[in-house]
Copies of this chain bind each other. A is one copy, B any other.
Amino acid sequence: MNTFGEYFKVSIFGESHGPAIGVVLDGVPGNIPLSEEDFTVDIARRASGAVGTTPRHEADKPKILSGVLGGYTTGAPLTIIFWNSNVRGEDYIQFDAIPRPGHADFVANIKYKFSNDPRGGGHFSGRLTLPIVAAGVVAKKILNAEYLDTEGNKEQLNVKINAELLEIGGETDKSKWDALLKKTASQGDSLGGIIECRVTGLGVGIGMPFWDSVESMISHAIFAIPGIRGIEFGDGFAASRMKGSEHNDPFGPDGPVKNGAGGINGGLTNGAPIVFRVAVKPTSSIAQPQKTWNFNKDKEDILTIKGRHDVCFALRTPVIVEAMTAIVLTDLL
């Protein structure tokens, strides 16, 4: 099914070659200021034509269909759509016979071959991160909303979510990224990256013990982003090589003083920042010719993927990681 969340439900719909894609958000509180302009910054971060990202321009303008009245949310389901400018053409048909290495063409072909169901195609999933970013914008608004406390005073939530790239192709020195991206592009190749996300401003005790631990919920949502290979919290994989006396986090008066648990104990937030890292694979579509199997001719074949593709889509992924995190935390709050 195409829905995520219990109390803040995110339902996505649409195909890149249909009239529109969009998202319905159920569980949005009323009285939160929201306009179509509020989406501009995050949508630009996802779409940006910086070095290493695809230069194709899309008119990613959101249209709010329901749930907002006079500039404020109403509490009713909030629907946002994006009209498609239909550019698909015939260029994906060949991949039915000659699946692209690293793409979902092969499995989508087998799973959906008797219908004309386009779900599962990588191209499809990629476009669907646009309504996810839009849902993230609304979730971030909710996580920073004003509310009245029990004595009638105005209070404000203040949850800040910030994801950024730590590495590109293993390179941690940001000053070298530009040159690395250009060189890789000139080779017709691609790069992956590692993103770190930090969340501050949450109280203690958010999350559910066991099944719906904070780590469970965040990892569930993060692995829905195409191209993610791993996730780790706090000390992560390094923790498995530490001794208990090294990894254990003594408490100070305000909670944990180191943060090797990444802000989470027993599945619940412990007041320290949530910290996790995400491994993004290199872009699968590369300009170099690649060996693969031609299932029509039943023999090996060489595939050359035309068009312009991201050298490193990890550059565009941090805002999607933020959106997924915001969606999960809104659901848990």
Give the B-binding residues of A (Cβ under 8 A).
1-4, 9, 11-15, 17-22, 24, 26-27, 29-31, 63-70, 72, 74-79, 81, 99, 101-104, 106-108, 110-112, 114-122, 124-125, 128, 150-151, 167, 169-170, 184, 189-194, 204-205, 208-213, 215-217, 219-221, 223-224, 226, 228-237, 239-253, 255-256, 261-262, 265-270, 279-286, 288, 290-293, 298, 300, 314
Give the number of copies in the complex: 4
With both beta carbons as reference points, the residue of chain B lying nearest to A21 in the complex is identified as B66
Distance to closest chain B CB from A148 (angstroms): 9
Q: Which of B77, B122, B219, B253 contacts A220 (CB 8 A)?
A: B219
Majority-rule SS of A interface residues? mixed
Q: Which of B170, B210, B261 contacts A240 (CB 8 A)?
A: B170
Q: How far is the CA of A18 from the CA of B34 in the complex (A)?
A: 14
Report whether B189 and A240 are in contact in the complex, using a CB–CB cutoff of 8 Å.
no
Q: How far is the CA of A161 from the CA of B8 in the complex (A)?
A: 32
Q: How far is the CA of A199 from the CA of B194 in the complex (A)?
A: 27
* Chain B residues whose C-beta falls within 8 Å of the C-beta of A108 in the assembled complex: 209, 266, 268
Distance to closest chain B CB from A199 (angstroms): 16
